[in-house]
Structure 1
Amino acid sequence: MAVGAQEGHGEAERPQEGPLGPEGPTAAPEAVADGTADGETAPKAAKQRSFWKELPLLIGIALILALLIKTFLVQAFSIPSDSMQNTLQRGDRVLVDKLTPWFGSEPERGEVVVFHDPGNWLEGEPTPQPNAIQKVLSFVGLMPSAEEKDLIKRVVAVGGDTVECKGTGPLKVNGKALNEPYIFAGNTPCSTDPESQFKITVPKGRIWVMGDHRQNSADSRYHQEQPGGGSVPVDKVVGRALVIAWPLNRWDTLPVPSTFGQPGIGTVASAAPGTLGALGAAAVFVVRRRKRR
């Protein structure tokens, strides 16, 4: 769906300077430092390139840098629908961190992420045909790409989590009810539509996503018949949306809501016995060594 430019200018020719003699700049040197004898002239410095000759090179460097930034660091994406209201409005531009996933970091609960269509979620949606200029701008990340079919939703649960919603809510993750002030005004956390009722344990390596406009978002709830029960593979995630960059009057960050940090919501409890066992074994080892001494 759907960043940088730079400009430069030529440098005026600098006057040539000879080395200063012991009597000051007006003294006539008997033999100058570059090896020319008295009366001979040194060769002139090569004429510098003009601005217009350097301009294509500067433009090329700018495009390469923009492409590298788009591919590995940050890319701008446009919001095409109302499914994330009021957090995101139609037409907003968000900057997405694409670097973190390269280091194997998986999405976390509460993050707003962009991901590739995992299984024809956008089937039937119209795809606009861009002109040549739009194709160039989208190639370097300065505008959305019409060819890429990406979605943006909030991560509600990650691999190993049990997520459920019945009736009008609340939405629960690992048995903990979420307080969701970011939900669109007038919406309920869940829907009375039987098709959108669910209780699922998210498979490892996948995430469960939902829109903040719960009654206007065709998210994981409506794709439970697909492999993974509506969850999205982690390798489909492009990156995390960090800020709303445009329009300027809507500039804002997209932090993780505090409700996802409440005690007990994580699945670390399952790993606790192993951790406690390791700590206990270490303590026994230390005690036995002290007794021997």
Structure 2
Amino acid sequence: MSTQDPTTPEDGSGEDGESTSSHQVPAGSEGGSAGARRRRLRDRSPVAAFFVEIGVILLIAVVISFVVKTFLLRAFYIPSESMEDTLQVDDRIVVNLLAPEISEVQRGDVIVFEDTRAWSSGEVPAPETTPLQDALTFVGLMPDASEHYVVKRVIGVGGDEVACCEADGRLTVNGEPIDEPYLYPGDEPSRTEFDITVPENSVWVMGDHRRASADSRAHRQEPDHGAVPVEDVVGRSLARVWPIDRWGGGGTDRDPFADVPAAGD
């Protein structure tokens, strides 16, 4: 026999059909009004909501740019003629920051290094910048135009003997003559004779426009023989990104050094 009260419907409603459930939330309760308030705010101020969304997107873009600039890629401005024709004045390049920490720097690489010994004082100074440009450079949205950085090509690495010049006027690295296709048209490998051994954990660097480059040759009388410590290397040039008609590789060319024997061989 059923024990259900015949006067009480199974759905819990009363005699008049109205629900008697204690779980119903009143329309004006605090919990049910939060979402409604947000919807009303959006409905009342679509312009404000649009600008808030734009601001969030820009903030995310700046954060991503800063992370990329700090750990992966960084843009630099070319202020002088020392790397022509490979890199020209006003070119912008992107540098791979994973070299040398992860990727080994090799002969033929075009690198950017921190000018801890004031080499750039002998070349064209970087252009003046505004505080806004400095801020954009800091977060990675503009190329670094600071004169505290120098771009050159690696000719020798730690332990290499770099000399100039052999009978045909070419540089030699560990006794191997080097044909240099990247040299500025009309330039000879070097007007200065030298014969140095690159200190360990350092690189010997030269500009492609040899007559306009104050590079390792100009500092070979210093204790480090003009070599740049690897710890000062910021990274390897990856690509030219500006101006548009000069888009292309970063200038690295390892092929001329393919037959160079290891130091001491």
TM-score by structure 2 length? 0.78
Equivalent position of 1:43 in the other structure? 32
Match of 2:119 among 121, 125, 138: 121
**Which structure 1 segments of 5+ residues have no match?**
1-29, 271-293
How much does 1:138 deviate?
1.1
Equivalent position of 1:250 in the other structure? 246
Moved over 3 A (4+): 39-46, 124-129, 144-148
Equivalent position of 2:150 in the other structure? 151
Equivalent position of 2:208 in the other structure? 212
Equivalent position of 1:55 in the other structure? 54
Superposed, 1:26-37 pairs within 5 Å as 36=24
How far apart, in 2, do the equivalents of 1:115 and 1:217 lie?
Answer: 15
What letter matches 2:262 in structure 1?
Answer: T
Which secondary structure does the structure 2 equivalent of 1:222 belong to?
Answer: helix
Question: What percentage of residue pairs aligned between the two structures are identical?
Answer: 43
How far apart, in 2, do the equivalents of 1:121 and 1:87 lie?
Answer: 20
How much does 1:53 deviate?
2.5
Check if 1:177 corresponds to 2:172: no
* Larger Rg over CA atoms: 2
**Which structure 2 segments of 5+ residues have no match?**
1-17, 43-48
Query: What's the C-alpha RMSD, in Å, of the aligned pairs?
Result: 2.6
What letter matches 2:228 in structure 1?
Answer: V
How much does 1:159 deviate?
0.2
Contact 2:159/2:263, CA 8 A, preserved across alignment: no
How much does 1:142 deviate?
2.5
Deviations 1:143-171 (A, max 9, x none): 23454511100000000111101277201
How far apart, in 2, do the equivalents of 1:218 and 1:52 lie?
Answer: 50
Contact 2:114/2:232, CA 8 A, preserved across alignment: yes
Contact 2:74/2:143, CA 8 A, preserved across alignment: no
Contact 1:115/1:151, CA 8 A, preserved across alignment: yes
Aligned length: 230
Equivalent position of 2:262 in the other structure? 267
How far apart, in 1, do the equivalents of 2:99 and 2:247 lie?
Answer: 22
Equivalent position of 1:239 in the other structure? 235
Give the direction of change, closer, same or farther, for the CA distance of 1:204–1:215 in structure 2 (3 Å limit): same
How far apart, in 2, do the equivalents of 1:261 and 1:80 lie?
Answer: 30
Check if 1:141 corresponds to 2:140: yes
Check if 1:109 corresponds to 2:83: no
How far apart, in 1, do the equivalents of 2:228 and 2:104 lie?
Answer: 12
Match of 2:197 among 196, 201, 215: 201
How much does 1:205 deviate?
0.4
Give the direction of change, closer, same or farther, for the CA distance of 1:85–1:148 in structure 2 (3 Å limit): closer
Equivalent position of 1:68 in the other structure? 67
Equivalent position of 1:90 in the other structure? 89
